[in-house]
Each structure stands twice: as structure tokens, then as C-alpha cells.
């Protein structure tokens, strides 16, 4: 018989009865987190006493003052009243950073009973919780749902137990149609997956390093990277497997058909072993070749174009560089420049504001898409072959530039079903790319000035409050 989903209200009651709070509850989606928090808030039986509500409200004011947060923005958050009534908060990337920082401070102070969060939080934030509740044995990825890895399970379960306050932490599995405790038990018994490296010689990395080093230095660096070490180790494992198969082939009792199959496998393993050992150098060569084709390199040294492009310390160095080279940014206003940059900075899998009247002209879209296609077909590591201009991203950023404040902007986001966190992420990323353009004062003076103006107009409260937090914590 399929188990029903166990409501968070039932989980909260059980944990509170057994003195297992505060708890960190992991959900698979943002909507589940929000729904849990709102349902708890609507249940008066689960509200905390009035005195605890007053204490919680006082701490909210103190945290807002400490980090120079906009208190009115916090008060108008749809989940604010529920937070004060229940001591339960929802934390995920779809929310404004100010709200997430507030919840983290409240949790650290021991003022929340439950934090409901998506699984990605496990690897990024250290919440002090007595109990961790896992509600799914799988997670949602780009290709659908996949079973949690041993490392992901450890990240989640490892949050249980507060240092200096608990002698033991609890990891609880909540039964539902998507949470099979037997699957989680298998995952818990596995060894952590082998260490992997996210490093690769991207075009941005190569350009920046070539400002101070030559290609031979780059090869030396790449060969001694963790990624290259892991690749070589994998190559040795494949070579060893091939050698073991060849030993079997020496056995004359092996059937001829089986010998052919094993021989084919041994040759394939040898080829894979050789390729694995030089994979990072092959990626470096592909990046160098692509940069030469686009005119950033002359031989093995930076061209004039390459020198100014190397100042752009961003993942969009090629997109911005080619757009500049083609004159697409020439003569643009600050608002138009922000829209153009946002259109290539946005993520196609996120939802942004939509409009019937496009911000960018058809000619602009055609020109930028041509740039993106040229980069996508370059064969360089890390470039996206199917990247497209996003009119919705451009409209979202320009709408924010025209809004009086975030409260007004938030209303538009809520009406359109756009997550605050996604909009804020797009805007701050656009501001970061604009900031890189301001570094081109020597070669593209007018563009640098307009980029500075555009950045100043979009990087305003509450998006600057995260910087206030970082500056205070860094003292």
C-alpha cells in the first residue's frame, strides 16, 4: 500500500513532543517549502505563545538594524506574519537574499522551531538543528529525478546536532510516496563518491592567465591541477582493467567468440585510458584554438582584442567581447545596455517577467543570437551551444530600473509568478557583468561610463544589503 504524504504539521507535533526541535526539514521543491510554512501558519493550534512571538519580533528588528536591512521589506514579505506566529520559516533560492539571511540569523539564535529548505541548502549553509527530517529519497535534476548520492545524503544528515548544545543529532525519515526508507538506508551505507574537480581551462581562465604567463606555463598549471590528477588516476584504473583482460586472452581455453569480445573491450579501455590522462590538456588546446579563431590570440600570445577582453573576469567574457567587437553596445543608453547584458546573462530554465512589447528590437536579437551561435560552434570547453537571447530577462531588469522600490517590483513579480530570488539573482548577475565592462576605461571609455551608470541604477536596496552583511561579518 502506498503511504500518504506526512504533513509538516504532524511532523512538528511529533518532534516537539519528543523534544527534538529545532528541526531542519528538507523538501524537493521551493513550492513545497512555501506551502509547508503557510499551512503551519494557518493552523492556530501550532502557533507559539504570545511571549515567544514578541521575542521573535524583537530579534527580527535587531537583526534588521544590525545588517541595515529594510524592515518594511521584511514586514511585507508574504511569510512574515506566519513566521512570527509559528517560528517556522521556508528557506530556498527563490526568496530574496535579505529574507534568507534573516532566517539564518534566527535559526542560529535558536529562535525557530523548524526551517523548511530545499536539498541544495545542505551544501551551502550550516544551520544549527537538533533534528534533520528527510522527506524524499531522490532529488530533482536537469534530467528528472535521481536517487540521492551518498555525499548528498551525508550533507543533509550531517546537519543534525548542534555543536556545544547536543550530544547527539537525529536524522528522521518521513514516509510518503516519494520517500522510501529502504532506499535511504542503502544510500546511507554507501561510501562517499570519489572526489571530483569542477576545474577546466575555460576561455575566461585562459585569457586571464595569458596576461601574465605564456602557454607553456598554462600547460604546466593544467597538468598539475586536481582535475588532471583525477583524470590520470582514472586512466591508470582503465589501463589496469585492460591489462587484466589481456591476461585472460592469454588463456587458450577461452572461446574464440569470447576472445574477440574481450579483445575489443581491451582496445577500447586502452584508448579511454590514454584519452583520460591527457583530457585537461586537450581541453586547453581546444580553448586556445577557439580563441585564435575568434581573434583573441595571435599564435600563443594575446592580440589587442585579447588584452582588453582579458580584463573581463566573467563567465560571459566571449559573449561580451564579441558583442563589443560587433558594435552592438555602441551608442546605447544605460537602460538599453543593462537590457542587452541581461538578455545574455539570464538562465533559460528560470521564469522572468514577460511582456507583449519586447524590450529588444528584432535586429538586436538577431545580432546577439548570431554572436551566441558563433561562440557555441567554436568547440571551446564550457560554452553553451544552444544559448539564446532572453527578452524576459531584459524586461525584468528594465522593469526594476523603472520601479520606485522593491515593494512595487515585488508586486509585479507576485502577479506574474516570478520568484523574488530568481529576479534578484538575474539583476545582481547583470550588475556584475556591467561592473566588468567598467574595467574597459582605457579602450572603451564611453561604454565603461554607461556601464557604471547602468550598474548604479540597478544595484540598489535591497540588493545591496547582502554586501552590508558581508562587510560587517568581515570585520
The residue among 189, 216, 241 that closes a domain is 189
pLDDT at 269: 82
Phi, psi of 212 (to 5 degrees): -125, -10
pLDDT at 334: 96
- Cα of first residue to Cα of last residue in the chain, in angstroms, is 57
**263: confidence class by pLDDT, cuts 50, 70, 90:** confident
| 260 or 240, greater pLDDT | 240
State the average pLDDT over residues 431-457: 97
**25: confidence class by pLDDT, cuts 50, 70, 90:** very high
- Residue 261, pLDDT > 90, answer no
Spatial neighbors of 234 by CB under 8 A, at least 6 apart, are: 276
Let me know whether 81 and 179 are in one domain: yes
Which helix (H) or strand (E) segment is 116 a member of?
strand 114-118
State the average pLDDT over residues 162-191: 85
337 within some domain: yes
Closest by Cα among 156, 148, 222, 225 to 187: 148
| Cell output for 285 | 588546446
102 within some domain: yes
Let me know whether 227 and 334 are in one domain: no
| 10 or 197, greater pLDDT | 10
| CA angle, residues 409, 412, 416, in degrees to nearest 5 | 140
Interval 268-308: pLDDT, tens: 888 887 877 788 899 999 999 999 999 999 999 999 999 99
Q: How far apart are CA 32 and CA 110, in angstroms?
A: 23
332 within some domain: yes
| 164 or 78, greater pLDDT | 78
Let me know whether 37 and 144 are in one domain: yes
Torsion of CA 234, 240, 242, 245, to 10 degrees: -140
The CATH number linked to 455 is 1.10.3380.30
380: Cα separation from own chain's centroid = 22
298 within some domain: no
Q: How many domains does the chain have?
A: 3
Let me know whether 207 and 327 are in one domain: no
Sign of CA dihedral 242, 243, 246, 248: negative
pLDDT at 122: 60
The residue among 189, 222, 243 that closes a domain is 189
State the average pLDDT over residues 421-447: 96
Let me know whether 108 and 208 are in one domain: no
Which residue is it, cell 552583511?
469
Let me know whether 377 and 280 are in one domain: no
pLDDT at 241: 82
State the average pLDDT over residues 398-403: 97
| Cell output for 234 | 582514472
pLDDT at 121: 67
Q: How far apart are CA 362 and CA 375, in angstroms?
A: 20
Q: Is 143 exposed, middle or buried (0-12, 13-18, 19+ CB in 10 A)?
A: exposed
**468: confidence class by pLDDT, cuts 50, 70, 90:** low
Spatial neighbors of 399 by CB under 8 A, at least 6 apart, are: 353, 409, 412
Let me know whether 41 and 68 are in one domain: yes
pLDDT at 286: 94
pLDDT at 52: 95
The residue among 287, 322, 355 that closes a domain is 287
pLDDT at 1: 44
pLDDT at 127: 72
Interval 191-225: pLDDT, tens: 888 888 888 889 999 999 999 999 999 999 989 98
The CATH number linked to 110 is 3.40.50.300
Let me know whether 257 and 344 are in one domain: no
217 within some domain: yes
Interval 34-83: pLDDT, tens: 999 999 999 999 999 999 999 999 999 999 999 989 999 999 999 999 99
Let me know whether 353 and 270 are in one domain: no
pLDDT at 474: 43
| 7 or 457, greater pLDDT | 457
Q: Are 108 and 81 in contact (CB under 8 A)?
A: no
Q: In this structure, what DSSP letter does residue 90 have?
A: E
Q: What is the mean pLDDT of the chain?
A: 89
Let me know whether 82 and 25 are in one domain: yes
Let me know whether 172 and 231 are in one domain: no
- Residue 98, pLDDT > 80, answer yes
1 within some domain: no
295 within some domain: no
Let me know whether 241 and 180 are in one domain: no
Q: Which domain holds residue 429?
A: 311-473
- Residue 465, pLDDT > 70, answer no
304 within some domain: no
Q: Which of 64-68, 122-126, 260-264, 354-358 has the lowest mean pLDDT?
A: 122-126
Amino acid at each position: 500500500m502506498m503511504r500518504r504524504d506526512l504533513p509538516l504539521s504532524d511532523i512538528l507535533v511529533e518532534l516537539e513532543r519528543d523534544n527534538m526541535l529545532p528541526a531542519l526539514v528538507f523538501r524537493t521543491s521551493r513550492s513545497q517549502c512555501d506551502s509547508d510554512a503557510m499551512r503551519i501558519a494557518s493552523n492556530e493550534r501550532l502557533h507559539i505563545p504570545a511571549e515567544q512571538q514578541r521575542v521573535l519580533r524583537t530579534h527580527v528588528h535587531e537583526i534588521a538594524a544590525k545588517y541595515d536591512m529594510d524592515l518594511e521589506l521584511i514586514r511585507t514579505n508574504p511569510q512574515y506574519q506566519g513566521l512570527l506566529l509559528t517560528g517556522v520559516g521556508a528557506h530556498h533560492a527563490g526568496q530574496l537574499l535579505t529574507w534568507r539571511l534573516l532566517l539564518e540569523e534566527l535559526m542560529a539564535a535558536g529562535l525557530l522551531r523548524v526551517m523548511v529548505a530545499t536539498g541544495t541548502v545542505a551544501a551551502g549553509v550550516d544551520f544549527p538543528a537538533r533534528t534533520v527530517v528527510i522527506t524524499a529519497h531522490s532529488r530533482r535534476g536537469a534530467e528528472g529525478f535521481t536517487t540521492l548520492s551518498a555525499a548528498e545524503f551525508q550533507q543533509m544528515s550531517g546537519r543534525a546536532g548542534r555543536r556545544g548544545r547536543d550530544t547527539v543529532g537525529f536524522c528522521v525519515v518521513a514516509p510518503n510516496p516519494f520517500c522510501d526508507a529502504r532506499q535511504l538506508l542503502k544510500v546511507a551505507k554507501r561510501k562517499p563518491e570519489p572526489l571530483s574537480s569542477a576545474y577546466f581551462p575555460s576561455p575566461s581562465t585562459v585569457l586571464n592567465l595569458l596576461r601574465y604567463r605564456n602557454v607553456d606555463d598554462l600547460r604546466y598549471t593544467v597538468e598539475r591541477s586536481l582535475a588532471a590528477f583525477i583524470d590520470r588516476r582514472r586512466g591508470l584504473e582503465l589501463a589496469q582493467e585492460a591489462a587484466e583482460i589481456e591476461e585472460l586472452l592469454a588463456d587458450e581455453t577461452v572461446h574464440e567468440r569470447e576472445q574477440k569480445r574481450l579483445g575489443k573491450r581491451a582496445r577500447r579501455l586502452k584508448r579511454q585510458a590514454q584519452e583520460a590522462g591527457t583530457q585537461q590538456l586537450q581541453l586547453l588546446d581546444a580553448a586556445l584554438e577557439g580563441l585564435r579563431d575568434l581573434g583573441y590570440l595571435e599564435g600563443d600570445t594575446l592580440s589587442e582584442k585579447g588584452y582588453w577582453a582579458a580584463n573581463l573576469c566573467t563567465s560571459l567574457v566571449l559573449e561580451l567581447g564579441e558583442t563589443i567587437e560587433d558594435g552592438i553596445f555602441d551608442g546605447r543608453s544605460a537602460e538599453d545596455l543593462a537590457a542587452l547584458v541581461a538578455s545574455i546573462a539570464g538562465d533559460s530554465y528560470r521564469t522572468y517577467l514577460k511582456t507583449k512589447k519586447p524590450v529588444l528590437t528584432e535586429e538586436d536579437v538577431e545580432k546577439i543570437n548570431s554572436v551566441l551561435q558563433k561562440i557555441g560552434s567554436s568547440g571551446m570547453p564550457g560554452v553553451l551551444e544552444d544559448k539564446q537571447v532572453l527578452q524576459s530577462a531584459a524586461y525584468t531588469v528594465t522593469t526594476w530600473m523603472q520601479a520606485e522600490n522593491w515593494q512595487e517590483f515585488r508586486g509585479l513579480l507576485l502577479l506574474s509568478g516570478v520568484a523574488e530570488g530568481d529576479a534578484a539573482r538575474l539583476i545582481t548577475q547583470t550588475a556584475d557583468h556591467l561592473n566588468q565592462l567598467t574595467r574597459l576605461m582605457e579602450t572603451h571609455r564611453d561604454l565603461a561610463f554607461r556601464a557604471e551608470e547602468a550598474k548604479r541604477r540597478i544595484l540598489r536596496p535591497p540588493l545591496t544589503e547582502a554586501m552590508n552583511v558581508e562587510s560587517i561579518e568581515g570585520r
